[in-house]
Amino acid sequence: MDTALLIIHGLVAVALLGAITHQTIAAWVPSRGRRGSFVGRFRAVTPGSFATAIVVLYSVSALLGAVLYLSFRVQIRPDLERAGHWPALGVFDLKEHFVSIGLAMLPAYWVCWRQQRTDEPSRTPAALTLILAFIVWWSFLIGHVLNNIMGFGR
């Protein structure tokens, strides 16, 4: 059961990673002069169109991670502690804090993208997206590093 949930968690995380990366680039890279290029086509997507999908994917990924956390805490973390992997455990604890901050930011993020006004440009949605992108990338990479140290469900 845990292995199936971990695979689903990973698939949701990859979808979230793609969506947040796409939105971040679309929000931060200028679109002028790049119409025929790969970046121009990548940038041509309206960044706000990703907001709802990102909120749903982030929430589902966090929920699945929370369900899997019990198995990690009981089965894997003690082995990591006995093996002296303190730096890995420290960055994983930091990951937990970042994910919590990201969850708290989701309502503001969603409102900023859904109610963006065209008459007064604001960098707030783009800044929130950049912060969420950092959290998602950090979480994805740290999750893989920790999984590669001891494996899952040993």
pLDDT tens-digit readout, 17-58? 999 999 998 888 866 665 677 767 767 777 788 999 999 999
Segment 128-140 mean pLDDT: 96
Would you tell me how many other CB atoms lie within 10 Å of the CB of residue 44? Answer: 11
Q: ∠95-80-9 over CA atoms, to 5°? A: 45
Q: Which residue has the higher pLDDT, 77 or 47?
A: 77
d(CA 109, CA 99): 14
Range name among 50-54, 61-65, 131-135, 148-152 with the lowest pLDDT average:
148-152
pTM equals: 0.86
Q: 109 Cβ partners below 8 Å, 6+ apart?
A: 51, 54, 55, 125, 128, 129, 132
Q: Which residue has the higher pLDDT, 42 or 153?
A: 42
The end-to-end CA distance of the chain, in Å, is: 13
d(CA 131, CA 149): 27
